[in-house]
Structure 1
């Protein structure tokens, strides 16, 4: 009889359940990881509802197995993989490029035209007892990064890249729009980089958490800031925010877009040009994973407060459907061992 394990399968829009699936066997260059923690994020929720734009583009299809914010321990290695990985605590990249195209050779595998996205497009994700991944995608976790922080490396990598694109540093003022997980982590990374960080939100529910992570001011949409900033980072999924955010960027400043809206967003390129501004889009955490781990490992950024609720795999479907309560601004983590 084939060995089986448990995995969450989204069978169609609004329908998900834990099923028995075959235990993965690593091929050459691959490893199998025993999953310890997996974060539920907005992308997973949109996979569950079928609202993720990837479905319309043919990149995602049902049934699928989600989970791309994860950490665990390597339990099997394939041919050609360094045996030192066996038993290592790891996390890994979501963006799995082909490895041979021009973009991959240039170090831009996260935008490879033939990439897989773990748990999103064609590669089974980590909401399972075990996950199969390429060894080349692994990042080792130091002992100072516990499982809770380990499963926050992927959103942390996204946030770090956004903050780097904003050129956050001493003497610079940065506005973060949208204090979700990535937005709050962007606050933390920008703050430790030396920037003065403000937050713009729809309500006040995340004010305390934003302040704990380094925000100097917390504005709400009903009373937005009247001044401008060296950089604005849009972490929302609101199609109206980019045009409004552009008006808050200083001439010569930068607007960074990492949020994805379900409908097209619009900005007036005349404002962009006449303000001599730079607009940057951020896709994926790849280049930010190692810096995020370093910041977590030495304590510069402490992300643990962003994952206050941990439940077992049997509650993963309920979590995707929004039926597991969590404090505003915090993330639900799944531990398949529970």
Structure 2
């Protein structure tokens, strides 16, 4: 165990549009807790929402230190935690599940009925030099793991949950709708299932093209998919655009499976109940990632089935928080994953 006298820094969003880089202590972990020295933290669209003030009521509590995608090294642990964790590379879950409700007891920790509570939104996050969290949320990495790449394991865990919900089987025709960070991670995981075809749909040609280097067999613009309706055994929608959930169901064959993992905004087009019923489609939805999906993502990363480093395009210090948020929210297709490096 180490002391908490050293000083650090953190990005504090006091309210929408207002942030400061503030001094932050290195707190002593309490019972069951671990303190992590943050190596890298990913900036995503939800962090942009926190700063812009557009995140849904109840899903953020100001003032807050954002940052829910991170990697680092365990530097101290509290009572009741194995001291052998100190010095280990790790990532960690964001949801602070209650572990006692019916959903948690069945292993669906991302459906916890105890109320929403997540690192970087209602608890201090990883846009800081150090992060304090329950040690039970840690997932340890191999000693030789690349911590820069590992900062993307939070979105990879969401993708692992979506892929697991879809149940891909070798030889199937599979489509991924959306070629952002999540979509490209989904391509990597789905390619490992040996599909006969792996289509990626995205209007951004450069993004869709990158999927071809990650295991996709074809990339198309959404406007050019009409001839592919009813073709795919499994469709994983991970874009969250207004029409992508509806259009993904059109791509699925009769009796096919659709997983909706993109988070649409207000006004999104609904699903066609006639198509769902007559086509006997199975539709699953995913929000966040339970512990089991985290474990699958970490195993896939350790085995080399996930290579997130190729998605990183920008790395900035904590002082560059405002620039990082602007990059994420700017809509430039050349901007991939943006990291903050304490």
Normalising TM by the smaller chain, what interval? over 0.9
Contact kept? 2:204, 2:333, Cα under 8 Å: no
Which whole-Å CA distance do the structure 2 matches of 1:324 and 1:51 have between them? 12
Q: Does 1:68 align with 2:68?
A: yes
- Contact 1:254–1:278 under 8 Å retained in 2: yes
Query: RMSD between aligned alpha carbons?
Result: 2.0
Equivalent position of 1:282 in the other structure? 286
Q: So what's the TM-score if we normalise by structure 2?
A: 0.91
Whether the aligned pair in 2 keeps the contact of 1:177 and 1:236 (CA below 8 Å) is yes
- Counterparts of 1:226 and 1:323 in 2: how far apart (Å)? 33
Matched, 1:294 2:295: no
Maintained 8 Å contact 2:314/2:335: no
Among 317, 320, 326, the residue aligned to 1:315: 320
**Which whole-Å CA distance do the structure 2 matches of 1:26 and 1:36 have between them?**
19
Distance change (3 Å), C-alpha of 1:254 and 1:192: same
Residue 235 of structure 2: which of 216, 232, 239 is its match? 232
Instruction: Give 1:278 shift.
Output: 0.8
Q: Deviations over 1:171-222 (max 9, x none)?
A: 1111111101010000110011112211111220213321111111111023
**Deviation for aligned residue 1:294:** 1.6
Which runs of no fewer than 5 residues in structure 1 stay unpaired? none
Over residues 279-335 of structure 1, what are the superposed CA-to-partner deviations in whole Å (9 max), with x where a residue is unaligned? 111121232222222222122222210113222111122201228998736201111
Residue 118 (structure 1) aligned with residue 122 (structure 2): no
> Which aligned runs of 4 or more in structure 1 are off by greater than 3 angstroms?
1-4, 323-327
- Post-superposition offset of 1:144: 4.1
SS of the residue 2:64 aligns to:
coil
1:21 paired residue number: 24
Q: Could you give the per-residue CA deviations for residues 215-252 of structure 1, whole angstroms, max 9, x where no partner exists?
A: 11111023225222111111112122111221111111
Query: Is the contact between residue 44 and residue 328 of structure 2 (CA under 8 Å) also seen in structure 1?
Result: no
In the comparison of the two structures, how many residue pairs are matched?
332
Distance 2:218 2:59 in 1: 40
Q: Which moved more, 1:170-179 or 1:14-23?
A: 14-23
| Secondary structure at the counterpart of residue 160 of structure 1 | helix
Give the alignment of 1:131-210 within 5 angstroms. Answer: 131-195=131-195, 196-210=197-211
SS at match of 1:294: helix
Moved more, 36-45 or 164-173: 164-173
Match of 2:261 among 258, 261, 275: 258
Q: Which residue of 2 aligns with 1:211?
A: 212
Whole-angstrom CA distance in 2 between matches of 1:302 and 1:71: 15
Please report how far the alpha carbon of residue 4 of structure 1 lies from its aligned counterpart in structure 2 after TM superposition.
Answer: 3.8
Q: Secondary structure at the match of 1:123?
A: coil
Distance of 1:116 and 1:288 partners within structure 2: 18
Measured after TM superposition, the shift of residue 63 of structure 1 is 1.6
Residues 72 and 62 (structure 1 numbering): CA distance in 2 closer, same or farther, change over 3 Å?
A: same
The unaligned stretches of length 5 or more in structure 2 are none
Q: Helix, strand or coil: the match of 1:32?
A: strand
Structure 1 residue aligned with 2:251: 248
